Amino acid sequence: MNSFGQRLKALRKEAGVSQSFVADHIGVSTQSVSNWECDNTMPDISQIVPLAALLSVSTDYLLGVGTNEYADKGELENKVKEVWATYSVNSTENNADLLVYELYKKYLNKYPLDYAIKVKCAFAIQDYLHVVRVRKKFDIPEERFDELWLECDRMLRSVCDNCTLPEVQIDAENHLIDLLLLKKMFEQAGAVAMKLPDLCGIRDKALCKIAQAKGDSATACEKAESTSKHLILCNQFFKRRNHVVHIRKCFGNAILFLQFGEGTRKVFNNSEI
């Protein structure tokens, strides 16, 4: 964030509260909070501590001082790599997914607006639940399963609602679909899929996955074929422009097409796929 006001607004939205809610708890007018977020004025020094406490961040993070996010993220990723190299996701003792989740969670306590890390944290939980429910490597109490499922759901929806980076948002929506499918919530998963861009096969891939989970082989085949055709066209599109396409599992980098705007959409809409 470039300013105190931008950081405050993002943290308030992340907390899911209104300006009037903040104003009531800090003891100021809603207009005062609006002025803070617009960088017209700053809170009084006596208001910083309760404001940080309300938003569940440190005063240093709220003020944008005393932190080195770049260095902390580098240290985090090194620790995560060490966990993946040392431990397994198939074990109940020192489970790699849970160890990584704890590392990410500790980092997010300090940097709650790092949505890319929040998606990775949520995925660690989702993968752990997948190992339990789908791969059936071990059992956990149902209450613990539901507790982790709800935490993962909350984190992913936070990213979907607040993140402005398309690639990160698409990652979150795809993981949210996988999470919903763990509980066979097909209708909710379909609603999330329809929010995905209808471009580069991104939406069709998600709909294919949902159809497979429902046992609808006809729809799954149809969406898989459509996804394949889109990806072929994606590669042809970029080859003509001397670009390289890196298609990840969730087609996150295929979002590059969105940056070409309506001109790119017309290329796809006028094609035969």
| Radius of gyration, alpha carbons of the chain | 21
For residue 78, count CB atoms less than 10 angstroms from its CB and return exposed for 0-12, middle for 13-18, buried for 19 or more: exposed
Amino acid in the structure at residue 225: E
CA-CA distance, 30 to 111, in Å (whole number)? 26
Predicted local confidence at residue 233, as pLDDT = 67
State how far Cα 71 lies from the chain centre: 22
Distance of alpha carbon 127 from alpha carbon 129, whole angstroms: 5
The model's pLDDT over 155-200, given as tens digits with 9 standing for 90+, comes to 999 999 988 888 899 999 999 999 999 999 999 999 999 999 887 7
- Structure pTM? 0.76
User: pLDDT (tens digit, 9 = 90+) per residue, 94-143?
Assistant: 999 999 999 999 999 888 889 999 999 999 999 999 999 999 999 999 99
Between 240 and 12, the higher pLDDT residue: 12
Q: DSSP assignment of the chain, as one string?
A: --SHHHHHHHHHHHHT--HHHHHHHHTS-HHHHHHHHTTSS---HHHHHHHHHHTTS-HHHHHT-S--HHHHHHHHHHHHHHHHHH--TT-STT-HHHHHHHHHHHHHHH-TT-HHHHHHHHHHHHHHHHHHHTS-SS---HHHHHHHHHHHHHHHHHHHHH---HHHHHHHHHHHHHHHHHTT-HHHHHHHHTTS-SSTTHHHHHHHHHHHHHT-HHHHHHHHHHHHHHHHHHHHHHHTTT------TT-GGGGGGGGGHHHHHHHHHTS--
* Residue 94 phi, psi (nearest 5): 50, 50
197, 203 Cβ separation under 8 angstroms: yes
More confident residue, 124 or 273: 124
Q: 118-127, 215-224, 242-251: lowest mean pLDDT where?
A: 242-251
Around Cβ 7, how many Cβ atoms within 10 Å? Answer: 19
The whole-number average pLDDT for the span 90-97 is 93
Q: Are 134 and 78 in contact (CB under 8 A)?
A: no
For residues 173 and 195, the answer to whether their CB atoms sit within 8 Å is yes
Q: How confident is the model at residue 251 (pLDDT cuts 50, 70, 90)?
A: very low
Cα 22 to Cα 60: distance, rounded to the nearest angstrom: 19
What pLDDT band is residue 240 in, cutting at 50, 70 and 90?
A: low
- Residue 99 or 245, more confident: 99
